Amino acid sequence: MERLSALLALIAGCSFSAEAPANPGGDDTPGIDAALPGDASVADGAPCVPGFLDLCSQAAPLIPTLDITDAQSINTDTDTRCRRLVQGGGGGDVCLIYAASVHVATTGSITATGKRSLAIASSSTMTIEGAIDVASHGGQRGPAADAAGCTFARAPDKDLGGGGGGAGGSFTLPGGDGGTGDNDNSASPAGTATSGMHGATTTISVLRGGCVGQTGGDEANGGGNGGSGGHSGGALYLFARQNLVITGTVRATGTGGGGGDVQSGGGGGGTGGLVIIESPSITISGQISANGGGGGQGGGRLNENDISGNPGTDGAMGTTPAAGGSGVAGGEVRFGFGGAGGATTAAISGTAADFGGGGGGGAAGVIQLLGAQQQLSGSTISPAPTP
């Protein structure tokens, strides 16, 4: 209720009347990166109270209407529409695109990459009929993906007979553990996940991407490398002062872990990212997904042939978990299968095997809806949103 009261105070009271120089995007531009005195003043003297991100000190929007009618890419490090917003509490810089109104048409889409998180704010209304993509998939990495400071409880061991599988990344929920390698002999220990983001807290206090999956254990004699960990989904903040409507799609999913080389463990899946939507009135009939990626399959040998495991699949739209890597001849007993990624259900651990263990699935990301009025009829949101 405290955050809601703060948001309503922001809606009712704040005015952003200061003029800003017509030179958007530069990191050292006065009036864009700097807080301007008087921007948060209001007619009745009530103070402006920040929402999840503090927009009170921001100058008036330089963009009258952000109207996206075609496919557009945003690099959050270089796009000239970005204002650099510095987060407190250890959060990284944010690319803030601030407009008087925002509309993404059914023919329009935004695909974002870069080291900075992406925030899109409207001083009035926002309507998303098309697509916003801050996911990692198909060779792209979402904005602020693979956040620094993510940890694992244990690294997988190397082993001549088969390395252990890597654990899936954890966010506010744990990723799946890796599967034991060389299970018919020395039983090479697998990687194990943490209990939550950074191994401890489940509190979301800054805008940041998810966590990368763990690399699988190598074959100890240098014969094969463990599968790479999957990349996480990125970070997105959507804010509208009056109302926010989503009939299209928002994607912040993670990628699958790589398959292990000969006698090495599969990589863990990356987590989903973070999507925060804030407005006094939120209406969603479209889809929002921040699902984790599946773990990679372990590798091994079969009839004197070196065989690599298959990668896990990337997180996708909808509620279906991303599948772990599987399908290599010899079956699960010989080649560890990757665990499914987290979605509306928990991430699954990889399986143990005589050769390389399977990688664990990446945990689901986080979707938060902050607003007094929420209409979600007809929507598909995975994982389930948190207040």
Q: 304: pLDDT confidence band, cut at 50, 70 and 90? A: confident
Question: What is the pLDDT averaged over residues 187-199?
Answer: 81
The pLDDT of residue 40 is: 39
Question: What is the pLDDT averaged over residues 199-210?
Answer: 79
Is pLDDT above 50 for 126? yes
Is 0.85 topped by the overall pTM?
yes
Instruction: Characterize the bridge pairing of strands 274-278 and 287-289.
Output: unpaired
Instruction: With beta carbons less than 8 A apart as the criterion, state whether 314 and 255 touch.
Output: yes
Which amino acid does the sequence have at 278?
E
Instruction: Tell me which of 52-61, 135-144, 282-291, 336-345 is least confident.
Output: 52-61
Angle CA 262–349–296, to nearest 5: 35
Give strand pairing partners of 121. 98, 239
Instruction: Characterize the bridge pairing of strands 94-99 and 83-85.
Output: antiparallel
Among residues 290, 275, 273, which one has the least CA distance to residue 144?
A: 273
Instruction: With beta carbons less than 8 A apart as the criterion, state whether 340 and 322 touch.
Output: yes
Question: What is the pLDDT averaged over residues 172-186?
Answer: 93
Question: What is the pLDDT averaged over residues 134-159?
Answer: 94
Q: 215: pLDDT confidence band, cut at 50, 70 and 90? A: very high
The pLDDT of residue 6 is: 45
Cα separation, 277 vs 275, in Å, equals: 7
Instruction: With beta carbons less than 8 A apart as the criterion, state whether 357 and 350 touch.
Output: yes
Polymer length of the chain? 387
pLDDT tens digits along 20-71:
333 333 333 322 333 222 233 333 446 777 899 999 989 889 899 999 999 9
Instruction: With beta carbons less than 8 A apart as the criterion, state whether 193 and 361 touch.
Output: no
DSSP string, 251-305: E-PPPPPPPP-TT-PPPPPPPP-EEEEE-SEEEE-SEEE-PPPPPPPP-EEETTE
Instruction: Characterize the bridge pairing of strands 131-133 and 281-284.
Output: unpaired
Cα separation, 59 vs 56, in Å, equals: 9
Name the strand (E) or helix (H) holding 131. strand 131-133
Is pLDDT above 90 for 3? no
Is pLDDT above 60 for 8? no
The pLDDT of residue 387 is: 80
Instruction: Tell me which of 81-95, 200-214, 347-361 is least confident.
Output: 200-214
Cα separation, 26 vs 12, in Å, equals: 31
